[in-house]
Amino acid sequence: MRATLSQEIQEFYDASSALWEELWGEHMHHGYYGADGREQKNRRQAQIDLIEELLQWADVQQAENILDVGCGIGGSSLYLAEKFNACATGITLSPVQARRACERAVEFGLTNRTNFQVADALNMPFEDNSFDLVWSLESGEHMPDKHKFMQECYRVLKPGGKFILVTWCHRSTDKSPLSTDEQKHLAQIYQVYCLPYVISLPEYEAIARQLPLQNIRTADWSQAVAPFWNVVIDSAFTPQAIFGLLRAGWKTIQGAMSLGLMSRGYERGLIKFGLLSGIKE
């Protein structure tokens, strides 16, 4: 990952992760609000439900050695390690996140079965065929080379192992290219959330077939997760949140002020929440 982008991502999450945890908890990803997006539920429960729904969708019944690519403060890693009585490794570009994930592993009593470290997903410090589940929940959008990212995930996956990718996408361009206004909307999201670019789910599937992953499945869960951003917006402007934003600095403030970009992106059908799973033969 190019140095400037890596640094931007690191600084963004170094500054914002403590505030996110303070206000919203350990899971730094969307929530699941039912297939039609209409289920009313606690935000944290919606995030846990997303993990469980993903596991069910991808038919993951057991795992022994898990890699969480873009682990945040260890929310998914610790959840999966505990659920499957597995070993879990998490990587992130943020030293602040890696330290906090290690602290949370102590709190969970999972230090013997978890490992968190600062590492680049485009050049992972692991041997080939190391993990039977490679899990990437909302980190692919940060990757400046989607092919290299998926190649690395494939490389470290054991034969017979499963890859689960969940990432922000833009709409398919099979029927029409992105308009100038859509490109402008995406560019604003890229700037705020330190993203190089996003691609469509069909483009991810094409990469997966080149690897080649087998038993490839894809799904669009945009409707199921779209309410998440309005829930975050509602909670972002409480006194506690405002004081936290002031402590976190301008980049985090800018991110909070721009939450509506994602909400409007879902509403207009531009932003898609894409799922892909496959098996390495």
| Total domains present in the chain | 1
Question: CA–CA separation, 257 vs 266, rounded Å?
Answer: 17
Residue in 193, 239, 228 with CA at minimum distance from that of residue 23:
239
Domain extent for 131: 3-279
Amino acid at 227: P
pLDDT in tens, 239-276: 565 545 545 554 555 555 567 788 899 999 999 999 99
Bridge partners, 275 (sequence order): 166, 219
Q: Which two tokens stand for residue 18?
A: 């403590």
pLDDT, tens digit, 9 for 90 and up, residues 53-108: 999 999 999 999 999 999 999 999 999 999 999 999 999 999 999 999 999 999 99
Q: Taking residues 188-194, report their average pLDDT.
A: 90
pTM: 0.92
CATH of residue 96: 3.40.50.150
Burial grade of 47 (CB within 10 A; 0-12, 13-18, 19 or more): buried
What integer is the mean pLDDT of 142-161? 98
Q: Do the beta carbons of residue 145 and residue 122 sit within 8 Å?
A: yes
d(CA 130, CA 158): 6
**DSSP one-letter string for 76-107:** HHHHHHHHHT-EEEEEES-HHHHHHHHHHHHH
Section 147-172 average pLDDT: 98
CB 11 within 8 A of CB 251: yes
